[in-house]
């Protein structure tokens, strides 16, 4: 399998910050993997995702996505990734169809093709009857699903999701997880962050636990559980490795 | 295509924001209507709006009646001789003016005509004696002074006091001159033995005629409240686009839609350019709506109709330049500030300051010298200057080109600064 995402000695320090947010991370995500990046609040997950999305420039290190070096070819890399941000990144006063039509057109998708895709995804995510309803009238779960659709319209090779199931009901969460599995079967590489460790254990083919900007363990869920004698689930291992101290 | 899609999106968002639409279109129309109505009186000719003046004539002779007649004929004052249905007296006039019931009162002292006649007779007699005519009087004559009392409301402005004093001074000088001529003619007749009194023509030999420096049809328009307020407040409203535009940009960042645009290659700036296009168009619509209100609606309220001039190409270019400058300013405010509160306070206060400096609130020519020098830094001053050139002076394109270039340059500078600020925000 070829490499989808390559991160080498990645360091990021925010302006005026005392500590580095990402501290010398190196990892590889192969094509077709579902990679879970797990860690407590402030561990460096969102900063890593922001760097991969070309939203912020790293202080140090090299990142490439599908062979595109982010320092030189950020526009090319943006074309092959789809990013589902933690917050709902949609226009609340536009309808779901208007939002998808706008963002799809901004990706340069042809009108007819875009219309088909919008109808297809709205149907899959159970939003087909909400096409003319404004997003501000949606429930939290509906917004999350629409937020995901907006990142899929251009058929990305790599899908990066920052806590896609946060604050949604069990039904919506189940639908999103099932969809991600199906998408991965079709060849899409998925990088995913979550605080739901059981969900990550079931979904991911590979996991890295990050804390204080450093990767403290990585491998398949089975490898990680096997490497920690006396622990039989990811959540207990996570607490052992990252501690029980509350984080900001 | 992406640009067109952005325009469509901005239109949809704008059209669904009813409160925003009201701020963009209804508020400016209310503003120019109210400002034109409020400022109509100060702009009106004195002939249309006479100043009431309480008049006490203790003289009851020719000087008192000549001054009264002069005040009435001036057309500036309406002369009132009664307070509370009683003939005004020295006491009642003082009380009425002090209370602010009247802004102005005049008391002509008793025997003023007699004293004036004596003074003039003595002066004329001395003059004729100098030529060997009439009797030589060796006694030293001490002229009595006549003091006309002018009472002002304590709240009356200095400019008002000086204009009234100057008008009264004019009548008194004229009365003095006429009396002197009359007595001079009498004395001359007596000295030469001719009994018949010469007729004296009191019509002024030198008069003033006010004409506009430009002889075009439009330039003959007298500046009135509508002609000043419609362009001035239209420009103010256009620059007030800073509020909805900056708000829209900050909202996009807060809602996260700006984040998604940053994830799509090349789309963030395209989206912002679409925003500039739409808000520039909004400014143009605002301006022409306000022109229509000035032309068709304000006359229904008894105000003069707004004269738009005849040089439509110059007008269009000038308005586009103003709209671009206003949008560019809003774009920069929306790029610098992170919160609605910061942008609203800075945006509104800065526009009011630029409007004040630029001559929207008070014309530049009445400002102190230092403020007149400062006024040239305000884009609202360039806008108002350029538009007044089109509306009132009927200038050609080359004469408003410096203002158009300044406004366009300001727009380019604002956009460059905004791009820089956006980049700084992106790569923090």
For residue range B240-298, list pLDDT tens digits in order: 999 999 998 999 888 888 889 989 987 778 888 889 999 999 999 999 999 999 999 99
Q: How confident is the model at residue B196 (pLDDT cuts 50, 70, 90)?
A: low
Chain A residue numbers touching B270 (CB-CB < 8 A) = 106
Q: Would the CB atoms of A85 and B256 count as touching at under 8 Å?
A: yes
Instruction: Output the pLDDT for position A230.
Output: 82
Cβ–Cβ gap A55/B263 under 8 Å: yes
| Residues 103-132, chain A, touching B (beta carbon < 8 A) | 103, 105-108
pLDDT range class, residue B126, cuts 50, 70, 90: confident
Nearest chain B CA: its distance from A197 CA (Å):
26
* CB–CB contact B264 A150 (8 Å): no
Supply the pLDDT for residue B220.
Answer: 45
- Report, in this order, helix, strand and coil percent for chain B, each rounded to 5: 70, 5, 25
pLDDT tier at B351, thresholds 50, 70, 90: very high
C-alpha–C-alpha distance, residues A10 and B357, integer Å: 52
Which chain B residue is nearest to residue A106, measuring alpha carbons? B2
pLDDT at B222: 46
- pLDDT above 50 for B178: yes
Q: Is the pLDDT of residue B426 over 70?
A: no
- Token readout for B76 is 């500036």
CB within 8 Å of A24: residues ≥ 6 apart: A9, A10, A11, A61, A213, A214
Nearest CA distance, A150 vs chain B (angstrom): 9
CA B275 → CA B16, B108, B151, B179, distances in Å? 16, 69, 60, 75
Chain A CB contacts of B262 below 8 Å: 55
Task: Say what the ipTM of the complex is.
Answer: 0.89
Instruction: Find chain B residues with C-beta within 8 A of A93's C-beta.
Output: 12-13, 16-17
Cross-chain Cβ contact A107/B264 below 8 Å: yes
Residue B145: predicted pLDDT: 77
**pLDDT digits 0-9 by tens, B102-116:** 888 999 988 888 888
A71 and chain B in contact, CB less than 8 A: no
Report pLDDT for B47: 46
Contact state of A94 with B13 under an 8 Å Cβ cutoff: yes
What would the two tokens of residue B36 be? 């034109």
- Give the integer Cα–Cα distance in Å for A6 and A29: 6
Position B218 scores a pLDDT of 44
Q: How far off is chain B from A39, nearest CA to CA, in Å?
A: 23
User: Which residue among B16, B259, B428 places its CB closest to the CB of A89?
Assistant: B259
Q: How many whole angstroms separate alpha carbon A79 and alpha carbon A56? A: 17
Distance CA B246, CA B243 (A): 5
Chain B residue numbers with beta carbons less than 8 Å from the beta carbon of A88 are: 255-256
Scanning every residue of chain B, which has its alpha carbon at the shortest distance from the alpha carbon of A13? B428
CA distance B315 to B321: 10
* Coil, strand or helix at B424: helix
Q: What CA–CA distance (Å, rounded) separates B260 from B170? A: 75
B131-144 pLDDT, tens digit per residue, is 777 666 666 566 67
Residue B202: per-residue pLDDT: 66
**Is residue B384 scored above 80 in pLDDT?**
yes
Q: Percent of chain B at pLDDT above 90?
A: 29
Q: Does A92 touch chain B (CB under 8 A)?
A: yes
- Residue B150's H or E segment, with its range, is strand B149-152
Is residue A83 within 8 Å of A114, Cβ to Cβ? no
Which fold does the domain A3-242 belong to in CATH? Rossmann fold (3.40.50)
CATH number of B46-192: 3.40.1710
Mutate to test the interface with A, among B21, B253, B265, B271 (most CBs of A within 10 A): B265
Contact B183, B113 (CB under 8 A): no
Instruction: Give the Cα separation of B328 and B383 in Å (integer).
Output: 14
A–B CB contacts, 8 A cutoff, strictly below: 77
B17, burial (CB in 10 Å: exposed 0-12, middle 13-18, buried 19+): middle
Q: How far is A239 from chain B (nearest CA, A)?
A: 32
pLDDT at A33: 93
Residue from A89, A136, A154 whose CB has the most chain B CBs within 10 Å, to mutate? A89
pLDDT band at B217 (very low <50, low <70, confident <90, very high): very low
- The widest CA-to-CA distance across chain A, in whole angstroms, is 56
Domain ranges of chain B: 2-42+222-426, 46-192
Contact A105 B266 (CB under 8 A): no
- CB-based contact (8 Å) between A80 and chain B? no
Mean pLDDT of B218-225: 55
> What single-letter DSSP state applies at residue B139?
S
What pLDDT is stored for residue B55 in this prediction?
92
Tell me the per-residue pLDDT of B1-60, one tens digit each, with 9 for 90 and over.
888 999 999 999 999 988 888 888 888 888 888 888 887 766 665 445 677 889 999 988
- Distance in Å, alpha carbon of A99 to nearest chain B alpha carbon: 9
Beta-carbon contacts of B117 under 8 Å, excluding residues fewer than 6 positions away, are B179, B183
b/e burial code for range B336-366 (CB count within 10 A of at least 16 → b) = bbeeeeebbeebeeebeebbbbbbbeeebee
Choose, out of A15, A105, A149, the residue to mutate when testing the contact with B (most B CBs < 10 Å).
Answer: A105
* A134 vs B contacts (CB less than 8 Å): 16
Tens of pLDDT along chain A (248 residues) come to 699 999 999 999 998 888 899 999 999 999 999 999 998 888 889 999 999 999 899 999 999 999 999 999 989 999 999 999 988 999 999 999 999 999 999 999 999 999 999 999 999 999 988 878 999 999 888 999 999 999 999 999 999 999 888 878 888 888 889 999 999 999 999 999 988 888 888 899 999 999 889 999 999 989 988 888 888 888 888 887 777 676 66
């Amino acid at each position: 399998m070829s490499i989808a995402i390559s991160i080498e000695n990645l360091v990021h320090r925010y302006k005026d910050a005392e500590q580095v947010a990402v501290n010398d991370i190196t990892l590889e995500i192969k094509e077709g993997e579902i990679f879970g990046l797990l860690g407590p609040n402030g561990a460096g997950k969102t900063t890593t995702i922001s760097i991969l999305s070309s939203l912020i420039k790293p202080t140090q290190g090299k990142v490439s996505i599908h062979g595109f070096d982010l320092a030189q070819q950020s526009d090319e890399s943006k074309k092959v990734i789809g990013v589902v941000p933690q917050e709902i990144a949609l226009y609340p006063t536009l309808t779901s169809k208007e939002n998808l039509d706008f963002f799809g057109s901004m990706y340069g998708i042809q009108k007819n093709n875009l219309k088909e895709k919008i109808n297809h995804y709205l149907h899959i995510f159970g939003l087909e009857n909400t096409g003319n309803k404004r997003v501000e009238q949606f429930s939290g779960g509906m917004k999350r699903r629409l937020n995901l659709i907006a990142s899929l319209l251009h058929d990305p090779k790599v899908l990066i999701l920052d806590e896609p199931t946060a604050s949604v009901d069990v039904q919506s969460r189940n639908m999103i997880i099932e969809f991600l599995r199906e998408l991965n079967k079709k060849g899409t590489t998925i990088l995913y962050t979550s605080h739901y460790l059981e969900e990550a254990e079931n979904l991911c083919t590979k996991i890295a636990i990050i804390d204080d900007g450093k990767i403290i363990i990585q491998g398949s869920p089975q490898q990680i559980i096997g490497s920690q004698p006396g622990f039989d689930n990811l959540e207990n291992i996570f607490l052992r490795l990252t501690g029980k101290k509350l984080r900001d | 295509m992406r640009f067109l899609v952005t325009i469509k999106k901005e239109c949809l968002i704008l059209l669904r924001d009813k409160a925003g639409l009201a701020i963009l279109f209804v508020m400016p129309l209310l503003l120019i209507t109210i400002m034109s109505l409020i400022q109509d009186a100060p702009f009106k000719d004195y002939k249309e709006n006479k100043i009431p003046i309480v008049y006490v004539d203790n003289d009851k002779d020719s000087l008192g009646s000549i001054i009264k007649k002069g005040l009435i004929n001036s057309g500036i004052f309406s002369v009132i001789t009664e307070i509370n249905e009683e003939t005004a007296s020295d006491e009642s006039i003082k009380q009425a003016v002090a209370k602010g019931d009247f802004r102005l009162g005049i008391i002509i002292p008793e025997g003023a005509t007699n004293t004036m006649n004596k003074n003039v007779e003595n002066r004329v007699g001395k003059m004729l004696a100098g030529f060997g005519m009439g009797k030589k009087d060796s006694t030293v004559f001490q002229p009595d002074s006549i003091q006309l009392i002018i009472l002002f409301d304590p709240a009356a402005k200095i400019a008002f006091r000086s204009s009234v004093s100057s008008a009264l001074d004019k009548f008194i000088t004229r009365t003095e001159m006429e009396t002197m001529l009359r007595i001079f003619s009498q004395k001359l007749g007596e000295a030469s033995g001719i009994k018949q009194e010469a007729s004296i023509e009191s019509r002024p030999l030198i008069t003033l005629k006010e004409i506009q420096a430009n002889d075009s049809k439009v330039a003959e328009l007298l500046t009135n409240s509508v002609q000043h307020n419609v362009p001035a407040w239209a420009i103010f409203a256009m620059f007030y686009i800073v509020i909805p535009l900056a708000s829209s940009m900050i909202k996009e960042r807060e809602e996260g839609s700006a984040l998604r645009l940053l994830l799509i290659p090349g789309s963030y700036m395209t989206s912002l350019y679409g925003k500039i296009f739409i808000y520039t168009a909004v400014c143009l619509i605002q301006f022409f709506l306000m022109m229509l209100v000035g032309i068709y609606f304000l006359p229904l309220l008894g105000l003069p109709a707004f004269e738009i001039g005849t040089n439509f190409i110059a007008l269009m270019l000038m308005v586009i330049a103003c709209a671009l400058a206003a949008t560019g300013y809003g774009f920069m405010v929306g790029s610098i500030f992170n919160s609605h509160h910061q942008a609203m306070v800075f945006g509104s206060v800065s526009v009011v300051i630029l409007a004040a400096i630029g001559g929207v609130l008070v014309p530049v020519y009445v400002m102190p010298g230092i403020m007149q020098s400062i006024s040239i830094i305000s884009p609202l001053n360039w806008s108002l200057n350029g538009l007044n050139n089109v509306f009132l002076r009927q200038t050609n394109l080359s004469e408003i080109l410096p203002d158009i270039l300044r406004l366009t340059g300001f727009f380019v500078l604002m956009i460059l600064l905004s791009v820089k600020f956006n980049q700084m925000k992106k790569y923090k």
